[in-house]
Amino acid sequence: MNPGAMTNRVYNFGAGPAMLPRAVMRRAREEFLDHRGIGASVIEISHRSREFMDIIEAADTLLRELGGIPENYRNLFVHGGAQMQFSAVPMNLIARRPQRKAAYVVSGNFANMAANEAARYGEIDTSCNSAESNFDRVPEFDAHAVDAESSYIHITSNNTLYGTRWNAFPDTGDIPLVADMTSELLSREMDIDRFGLIFASLQKNLGPSGLALVIIREDLLDHAMPETPGLLNYRICADKYSLANTINTFAVYMMKLVLEWLRDEGGVEAMERRNADKAEILYEVIDGSDFYAGNAYAPHRSHMNVTFNLAENDLLDTFLREAESNGLYALKGHRKVGGARASIYNAMPVEGCRALADFMRHFERQRA
C-alpha cells in the first residue's frame, strides 16, 4: 500500500498548500533550467517578456474555457492569496451603494474572517450563521432577509476546515453574489453568471500559494473606495492585465501547467465525476462503521475536504501516526475542528482515496 516505496512520494492529504498533479511537477522540473529553449528559467525572465505574456495569456484562455467563464467577466491575478481578497472585496465593492452594507453568510472559519475584515469598511450583516451547530452545515439562507440596499452578499462555497459545501447556490437577485471558492474552484461545474465575483487562492486546486484568482463581472470593476491601494483595485488590475507590478510569475506558470493537465484529464465535467467518486469512497467507510464519525451533516458534505473523527478520540494520534507510516500524509484535522481531514482536491488520484479507505478499514479491524 505504501506508494513511497516505489516512487518516494506519499499521498498528500494536506489542506493547502496541497499536492499538485505529478505530471505537472515533472513537466516543471524538465523545463525549469531552460524554458522552451530560451536558455533561461521561467523564473528568470521579465514579466513583460513575450515568453511570459504567452504564459499568462494561455492561463487566462484556459481558465475561460475550462471554467465556462462568460465574455463579460475578467480574470485577474492578484497578490496575497485569498485573505487579501477579504480586504479587496469590501474595498472594491462595498461603496457600490451609499449605505456601505454587505451580508456575509457565516458557514465557517474563513467566512468569519472575511466578515471581520469587511467590518473595517462598512456595516456587515452576519445574521445568517451556522456557528450554533459548530459549522457542521451551511446555514439556510433567505435572500429576502437581506437588506435590499446591500452592496453584495458573500458566501464561502466550500468550507475547508469543516468539510461542508453549498450544493445549490442562493439566488440573490440584483445583489451581486461574491464567493470564496478557494478550496474547490474547477473541481465541479459552476454557472459563473450566478456570481458577481469569485475568488480563490491557488494553493488548493490551482497551483502554488501567494496568488489569488479573481473572476469578476465587468460592471463591478468601478466601485472601489478612493483609498483602495492601486494593486488591489480591480479596475487597475483589469486595465493592466494583472501586471501593474511584478506578478508572481512562477505561480502563473504553474497554474498554466495545472490547467493544461485539467484539460487533458477531460476538463471540469470529468473532474467533477471523479471527485464525487473519490469522496464516496471515503464517506462509505465512515458511514459503514461506528468506529468513524463524519463531522458534516451528510447532505452538505464537501467533495474536497472529508472530515471525520474516531469514536475513541484517544486513538486519533495513533491513527495519524500509522497512516503516515503507510504513506498517507497530513491527515490531521484543523485545530479548530479536531479529528482527521482528508483533503482530496483535483490532483488527488482515486488510488489515494482507495489507499486511505483500505487503511481505515484495516485500522478499525485492528482496534475495534
Ligand X SMILES: *Cc1c(COP(=O)(O)O)cnc(C)c1O
Q: Is 16 in the site for ligand X (CB under 6 A)?
A: yes
Q: Is 13 in the site for ligand X (CB under 6 A)?
A: no
Cell of 217: 463581472
Nearer of residues 162 and 319 to ligand X, judged by Cβ: 162
In whole angstroms, the minimum distance from the beta carbon of 160 to ligand X comes to 3
In whole angstroms, the minimum distance from the beta carbon of 17 to ligand X comes to 9
Nearer of residues 181 and 310 to ligand X, judged by Cβ: 181
Q: Is 78 in the site for ligand X (CB under 6 A)?
A: no
CB 95 within 8 Å of CB 226? no
Q: Is 182 in the site for ligand X (CB under 6 A)?
A: yes
Q: State which of residues 156, 172, 295, 343 lies at the interface with ligand X (CB under 6 A).
A: 156
In whole angstroms, the minimum distance from the beta carbon of 111 to ligand X comes to 8
Nearer of residues 183 and 307 to ligand X, judged by Cβ: 183
Question: What is the Cα–Cα distance from 105 to 137, expressed in whole angstroms?
Answer: 12
Q: Is 112 in the site for ligand X (CB under 6 A)?
A: no
Nearer of residues 42 and 179 to ligand X, judged by Cβ: 179
Sign of the Cα pseudo-torsion (198, 201, 206, 211, in order): positive
Q: State which of residues 52, 110, 162, 253 lies at the interface with ligand X (CB under 6 A).
A: 110
In the chain, the amino acid numbered 363 is F
Q: Is 170 in the site for ligand X (CB under 6 A)?
A: no
Binding range to ligand X, per CB under 6 A, among 46-54, 80-88, 250-258, 266-274: 80-88
Give the residue closest to ligand X by C-beta.
81
Residue 352: which H helix or E strand, with range?
Answer: helix 350-367
Q: State which of residues 183, 249, 295, 326 lies at the interface with ligand X (CB under 6 A).
A: 183
Judged by phi (left if over 0) then psi (alpha if -120 to 50, else beta), residue 223 lies in alpha
CB 94 within 8 Å of CB 122? yes
3-state secondary structure of 328: strand
What is the contact mask toward ligand X in residues 260 to 279, using x (rule: CB under 6 A)?
--------------------
Q: State which of residues 62, 82, 128, 153 lies at the interface with ligand X (CB under 6 A).
A: 82
User: How does DSSP assign 101-166, residue by residue?
Assistant: EEEE-B-SHHHHHHHHHHTTTSEEE--SB-GGGTTSSPPP--GGGS-TT-S-EEEESEETTTTEE-
In the chain, the amino acid numbered 182 is T
Question: What is the Cα–Cα distance from 220 to 320, expressed in whole angstroms?
Answer: 46
In angstroms, the Cα distances linking 323 to 326, 338, 356 are 5, 16, 8
Q: Is 304 in the site for ligand X (CB under 6 A)?
A: no
Q: 349 preceded by cis ω (within 30°)?
A: no
Q: State which of residues 21, 67, 81, 208 lies at the interface with ligand X (CB under 6 A).
A: 81
* Placement of cell 483500505 in the chain: 358
State the number of binding residues for ligand X (CB under 6 A): 13
Q: Is 160 in the site for ligand X (CB under 6 A)?
A: yes
In whole angstroms, the minimum distance from the beta carbon of 86 to ligand X comes to 8
In whole angstroms, the minimum distance from the beta carbon of 329 to ligand X comes to 18
Integer-rounded Cα radius of gyration of the chain: 21
In whole angstroms, the minimum distance from the beta carbon of 211 to ligand X comes to 8
Nearer of residues 182 and 326 to ligand X, judged by Cβ: 182
* Placement of cell 445568517 in the chain: 128
Cell of 79: 497578490
In whole angstroms, the minimum distance from the beta carbon of 314 to ligand X comes to 29
Binding site for ligand X (CB under 6 A): 16, 81-83, 110, 156, 160, 180, 182-183, 201, 204, 209
